[in-house]
């Protein structure tokens, strides 16, 4: 059976790492690809970060594989001008992708690459489950003279559905992160998650977000699933990324209600400073392709084989520049293929 993958190379190093993913995917199965523009590339072509046509093409695909968007060329504080990130937010909203899944499992070969001591991160194997289409990023916002506002809004159904995803993915427990001592949305979040937990077999505990940020670096191996809202999840998942030694190592999946395609993308940005040099680390992109194989196509064996090949390549000494080595994107891709 052939699967159709809508590819969005985006900006910066995006086209380079996406080419790496396609090369590896073609050794694992038969896939049809369709490429479209998103982010800065789309702004240059169409004057907007995401066109209606591209959104429709994404909806018609079996999965969407995105590399990276953004860059200084399109940076602006003018609210009337398009920004590349608007394409990503529009894609998440337009596809109904309310659950962002970010697994954080340092490769054994990279335990000494993390800024934290080996003994502190050894055994870390957690998942950040971030609510993706609500909260302050999608609330009403505006500016009036010297006053600005960004409104945070959540409903019970939004919280219930993301909580259920967290419990589905948990192996040991769910840790729900909020700011219930200050925010009314967080109090609703805590009440709702607690109620959902009553029908689940796995235990639940709660942490305030500032405490969670501290615990994530002091005892990361104690976490299983970290369940949290949009803004907190954005910050905590990037913090968790450094447990792996580099932001260039972290993949992600954004999922909806299963009736439409998921979106799979590395957590890192477009790294415009190294775009075109062939030095980009493709491993987070390859990890995102593995999540696509697992969550979009049910190809668990192929997903596991790809993840094992990444670990084996690192164990054999593969290091790109962000990991303290000199391997190019092409060399990293070949190293993974050799262990596949």
Q: Quick: pLDDT tens for 178-204.
A: 999 999 999 999 999 999 999 999 999
CATH number at residue 289: 3.40.718.10
pLDDT digits (tens, 9 = 90+) for 36-60: 999 999 999 999 999 999 999 999 9
Cα within 13 Å of Cα(25), Cβ side:
29
Residue 309 confidence (pLDDT): 97
Verify that 253 and 240 share a domain, yes or no: no
Co-location of 177 and 154 in the same domain: yes
pTM above 0.75, yes or no: yes
In terms of domains, do 136 and 238 share one? yes
Decide if 106 is inside a domain.
no
* pLDDT tier for residue 324 given thresholds of 50, 70 and 90: confident
137 annotated active-site: yes
* Catalytic annotation, pick one of 11, 178, 224, 234: 234
Residues 6 or more apart in contact with residue 268 via CB below 8 angstroms: 68, 247, 248, 250, 284
**Sign of the CA dihedral with 248 first, then 251, 252, and 258 last:** positive
What is the average per-residue pLDDT within 83-107?
93
Single residue among 200, 217, 244 that ends a domain in this structure = 244
Structural domain for 169, as ranges: 114-244
For residue 247, what pLDDT band results from cuts at 50, 70 and 90?
low
**Are 237 and 318 in the same domain?**
no
Residue 93 a catalytic site member = no
Cα angle, residue 124 at apex, residues 118 and 126 outer, rounded to 5°: 155
Among 177-181, 231-235, 258-262, 285-289, where is mean pLDDT lowest? 258-262
Catalytic pick among 26, 210, 257, 273: 210
Catalytic residue flag (residue 234): yes
Q: What is the mean pLDDT of the chain?
A: 94
Domain boundary among 211, 244, 277: 244
Total domains in the fold of the chain = 2
Residue 132 resides in a domain: yes
Query: Is 210 labeled as catalytic in the residue annotation?
Result: yes
Active site residue 222: no
The reply to whether 266 and 234 lie within a common domain is no
Instruction: Please indicate, yes or no, whether residues 89 and 118 belong to a single structural domain of this protein.
Output: no
Cα distance between residue 326 and residue 319, in whole Å = 6
* Residue 134 confidence (pLDDT) above 70: yes
């Amino acid at each position: 059976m052939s699967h159709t993958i809508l590819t969005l190379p985006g900006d910066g190093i995006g086209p380079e790492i996406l080419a790496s993913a396609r090369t590896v995917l073609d050794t694992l199965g038969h896939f049809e690809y369709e490429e479209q523009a998103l982010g800065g590339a789309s702004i240059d072509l169409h004057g907007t970060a995401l066109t209606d046509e591209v959104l429709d093409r994404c909806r018609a695909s079996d999965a969407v594989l995105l590399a990276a968007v953004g860059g200084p060329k399109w940076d602006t504080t003018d609210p009337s001008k398009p920004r590349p990130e608007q394409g990503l937010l529009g894609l998440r909203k337009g596809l109904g992708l309310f659950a962002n899944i970010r697994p954080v499992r340092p490769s054994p070969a990279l335990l000494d690459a993390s800024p934290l001591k080996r003994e502190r991160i050894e055994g870390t194997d957690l998942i950040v489950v971030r609510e993706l289409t609500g909260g302050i990023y999608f609330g009403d916002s505006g500016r009036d003279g010297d006053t600005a506002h960004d409104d945070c809004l959540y409903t019970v159904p939004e919280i219930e559905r993301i909580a259920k995803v967290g419990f589905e993915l948990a192996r040991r427990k769910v840790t729900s992160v909020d700011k219930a001592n200050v925010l009314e949305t967080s109090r609703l979040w805590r009440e709702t998650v607690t109620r959902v937990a009553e029908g689940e077999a796995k235990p639940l505990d709660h942490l305030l977000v500032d405490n969670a940020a501290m615990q994530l670096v002091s005892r990361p191996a104690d976490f299983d699933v970290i369940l949290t809202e949009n803004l907190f999840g954005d910050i905590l998942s990037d913090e968790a990324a450094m447990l792996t030694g580099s932001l260039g190592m972290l993949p992600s999946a954004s999922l909806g209600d299963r009736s439409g395609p998921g979106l799979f993308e590395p957590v890192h940005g477009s790294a415009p400073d190294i775009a075109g040099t062939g030095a980009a680390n493709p491993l987070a992109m390859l990890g995102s392709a593995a999540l696509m194989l697992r969550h979009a196509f049910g190809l668990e064996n192929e997903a596991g084989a790809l993840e094992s090949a990444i670990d084996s390549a690192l164990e054999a000494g593969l290091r790109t520049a962000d990991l303290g080595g000199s391997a190019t994107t092409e060399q990293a891709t070949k190293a993974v293929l050799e262990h596949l």
